[in-house]
Structure 1
Amino acid sequence: MRKLQAQGIHHITLMGADRQTSIDFWEGLLGMPFIFEQPNLDRASESHLYFDPGDGRLITIFTSEDRKADPARTSTEPGAVHHLAINVSKATFSQAVERLDERGIKHSGVKDRGFMDSIYFKDPLGFLIELAAYRFEPPAGVSYAEVFVEAHKIRVERGDYNIAEIHLADAIEAIVERTQRSLSDDRTPKKAY
């Protein structure tokens, strides 16, 4: 038996409101370029809008002129998607509350997630959106996932409840020591002064 090896998310498709409301939200609020449109090939009465979330992959939205904005929360029953988290820079994140407030969009305010910060709000149809900003950058040539694996090991060894910045910092230090060469014989921490 062999796996069907995943190599990333190809796209995510969400149910949207009408065409213009969807464009205004995904491009006008979240800055995702609207890159193409075609009919929903499985339902001709709907349109299929494609947006670039910033990494060249796709978020697509099925729209219908019969669906209008409705802020009631979408289903969170088992099998339903709870929320979509969108990566933003620390610079953008620091402006998020102000930019949501100036549009009158209700939001959670900043939530401390230990390894990242989050803000939650709803799309025009009540689907929960999260803006997420990591509190770290991985070392050159190392993925975020590799840092998480190392930070998780450190957290579990220490018996801590959740990953925090100290686990990330120690994970990055361990990864750099393991993956980047040095001419020093002793790479242990030193008191330099």
Structure 2
Amino acid sequence: MPDPIPGIHHITAIATDAQQNVDFYAGVLGLRLVKQTVNFDDPGTYHLYFGDGKGNPGTILTFFPWSHVQHGRRGTGQATTISFAVPADSFGFWIERLTRHSVEYDKPTRRFDEPVITFHDWDGLGLELVGVAGAENKPAWESNGVSGKEAIRAFHTVTLCEDGMEKTASLLTDTMGAKKLKEEGSYFRYTFGEGDSAANVDLHCTPEFMSGVVAGGSVHHVAWRVPNDTAQVEWQKRVREAGLNVTPVLDRQYFKSIYFREPGGVLFEIATDPPGFARDEPEDALGQVLKLPPWLEKYRAEIEGDLPKLHHPNFAMERQL
């Protein structure tokens, strides 16, 4: 068995407007914009990374903002909801903040004995805040009126919508090393490692739903973390032996990646923790300027001319707690 997967590395979604995306995630939710770069396969499009103060694995939500993309359709074969962990007593703050920024949300409810607020970003991407006991003791990024008492700490869960769950469940447990924790109605929770931050995946079994369409406001893929290149190659072999097609290792500058589709159709990635986001700019200046990989640097003028200018909501207010 390769080194265990401890949980989520990052989640990548599709947006329709780059500035609107920054305003929502860095502004409304108070995450740090840790990297401005481009989609390496489509350099005329940004690839924006949001996370905690250092862009630690398990906190990173990334976006491809394609301005002319159609909106997706939520359904089976998709990761439909991204859930963030926040301190359990912060819900009053978040309800007031979402209301003030005209973000519609559902009345708080409970799932698996934890309080949950469900809402959507301005592209319709499904999001949740989950109140987690002890979250207040984890590092926080303070920004744009979100203090360390309320700030998002990391991912809590990613929800996969499936028309049938047996094959996906088998991949998670028999191949990837997750454990089934519990079930509640049509939700089945699995967890990686010790079940700490960013370790949960919920299978939402909904055979009555239509197949989803991945486009604007949809999750593009879910990445799971491994500690190094050697472990990644071992996982590549293990995935292949499970009968799934898997890509060669691809260099994404801040981590290395392999990709495959789980049996229900969701695109999975296995990404390395290193080298991280400080490899090409100082940690205290993350996300402030456009960074390009070496093979695209000679096209910088052309790329910058094609990309819309971005304005951060307020760099001056940010600090790591």
- TM-score normalised by structure 1 residue count: 0.62
CA–CA separation in structure 1 for the residues paired with 2:62 and 2:24: 13
- Residue matched to 1:83: 81
The alpha-carbon distance between structure 1 residues 35 and 78, as it changes in their structure 2 partners (threshold 3 A), is same
Greater helix share, structure number: 1
The answer as to 2:108 corresponding to 1:106 is no
SS in 2 for 1:22: helix
User: Equivalent residues in 2 for 1:178-189 (5 A)?
Assistant: none
User: Equivalent residues in 2 for 1:40-189 (5 A)?
Assistant: 40-53=39-52, 56-57=56-57, 58-66=60-68, 74-134=72-132, 136-137=133-134
User: Percent of aligned pairs with the same residue?
Assistant: 25
CA–CA separation in structure 1 for the residues paired with 2:130 and 2:36: 27
1:120 Cα deviation (Å)? Answer: 0.8
5-14 or 55-64, which moves further after superposition?
55-64
SS in 1 for 2:25: helix
Asked whether the 8 Å contact 1:120–1:131 carries over to 2, the reply is yes
Cα deviation digits, residues 64-88 of structure 1 (max 9, x gap)? 34359x7xxx433221111100111
CA–CA separation in structure 2 for the residues paired with 1:114 and 1:9: 19
1:3 Cα deviation (Å)? Answer: 5.1
Cα deviation digits, residues 12-46 of structure 1 (max 9, x gap)? 11111211001011110111100111110011221
- Residue matched to 1:18: 17
CA–CA separation in structure 2 for the residues paired with 1:95 and 1:89: 11
Asked whether the 8 Å contact 2:89–2:131 carries over to 1, the reply is no
CA RMSD of aligned residues (A): 3.1
CA–CA separation in structure 2 for the residues paired with 1:128 and 1:98: 19
1:115 Cα deviation (Å)? Answer: 2.0
Cα deviation digits, residues 120-177 of structure 1 (max 9, x gap)? 111121111111112x349xxxxx9xxxx9x96xxx9xxx99xxxxxxxxxxxxxxxx
1:117 Cα deviation (Å)? Answer: 0.5
CA–CA separation in structure 1 for the residues paired with 2:100 and 2:92: 14
Asked whether the 8 Å contact 1:110–1:119 carries over to 2, the reply is yes
1:102 Cα deviation (Å)? Answer: 1.3
* Aligned residue type for 2:16: A
Asked whether the 8 Å contact 1:16–1:63 carries over to 2, the reply is yes
Relative contact order, higher structure (CA 8 A, sep 6+): 2
- TM-score normalised by structure 2 residue count: 0.39
* Aligned residue type for 1:132: V
* Aligned residue type for 1:21: Q
Asked whether the 8 Å contact 2:87–2:134 carries over to 1, the reply is no
Structure 2 unaligned regions, length at least 5? 136-155, 157-178, 186-321
Higher alpha-carbon Rg = 1
- Residue matched to 1:7: 6
